[in-house]
Amino acid sequence: MKISIITAVYNRAATVAEALASVQGQSWQNIEHVIQDGGSTDGTLEIIHSVRNPRINLVSMPDDGIYDAINRGIERATGDVIGLMHSDDVFANDTVVQQVAETFEDPQVDCVYGDLQYVAAHDVDRVIRHWTSGPYKRDLLRHGWMPPHPTFYIRSAMLERLGNYDTSFQIAADYDAMLRWLWTGHLRAAYIPQVMVKMRVGGESNRSLSRILRKSTEDYRALRNNGVGGVHALMRKNIRKISQFRL
């Protein structure tokens, strides 16, 4: 099974080398690393070029934001399964992709996800927030649940049927996609009960109060567009995060 891992990157010279090494260090060998660079000028491209690995498929050109970049990467991908590795993130261990591939050996599985840790920006061993997803139950989506986006893998055939990310969302296209794939598309999801990805804190959606408000507005639109719920589901979605923090 060939797995395509998409990395959308723009000016991440400080972290991209770790992300690259994390993908290249996976025990599963049939990986295609599709990197969509937005025209970096800070040394990111030089770092990527220095790796010189035949599994890397790099294109650098301006884009219209992270979801547009991911969509462009998906369009170039040739794998049976599509997943992500954000340029600030790393895999929790070197067998994550192998476990994903083994889970997809079951033809009844359309998508796979696991657990996520938010870690300190300068210390990936310092856990700030631990997100335990739990087994999949479709009705949980009505209560604000979603699988952690960086851990999510989906069959390419399902993306072709249900579509990629809606770029009219600037912040919550991932949430909209999850609802479209899982709720509207009735995909069958499998849970890997372990931490799959370590994600550095400081993401785009929480950078400022205006971004937080915009994210909530977009989350609500995603819920309504997909016929999943409304205000109550949005409130539950935000409340769920509280218990994840390490105090």
Residues sharing a CB contact under 8 Å with residue 140, sequence separation 6 or more, in sequence order: none
* Average pLDDT for the chain: 93
Q: 239 CB contacts (<8 Å, ≥6 apart)?
A: 144
Look up the pTM and report it: 0.92
pLDDT of residue 231: 83
- Mean pLDDT by 10-residue block, N- to C-terminus, for the chain (247 residues)? 98 97 97 98 97 93 97 98 98 98 98 97 93 95 93 98 96 96 97 98 64 88 90 76 59
237 vs 141: CA distance, rounded Å: 9
CB atoms within 10 A of CB 81: 25
Q: What is the pLDDT of residue 232?
A: 78
CA distances from 100 to 29, 96, 118, 236, 240 (A): 13, 6, 20, 29, 26
Residues 173/165, Cβ–Cβ less than 8 Å: yes
Buried b (16+ CB within 10 A) or exposed e, 39-69: ebeeebbebbeebeeeebbbebeebebbbbb
CATH superfamily of 3-244: Spore Coat Polysaccharide Biosynthesis Protein SpsA; Chain A (3.90.550.10)
> Could you give the 3-state DSSP secondary structure of residue 148?
coil
Q: How would you label 137-172 residue by residue, b for 16+ Cβ within 10 Å and e otherwise?
A: eeebbebbbbbbbbbbbbbbebbeebebbbbebbbb
What is the pLDDT, as a whole number, of residue 241? 67
Question: Where are the chain's structural domains?
Answer: 3-244
CB atoms within 10 A of CB 24: 14
Model pLDDT, residue 90: 98
Distance CA 60, CA 52 (A): 16
Q: What percent of the chain has pLDDT over 70?
A: 93
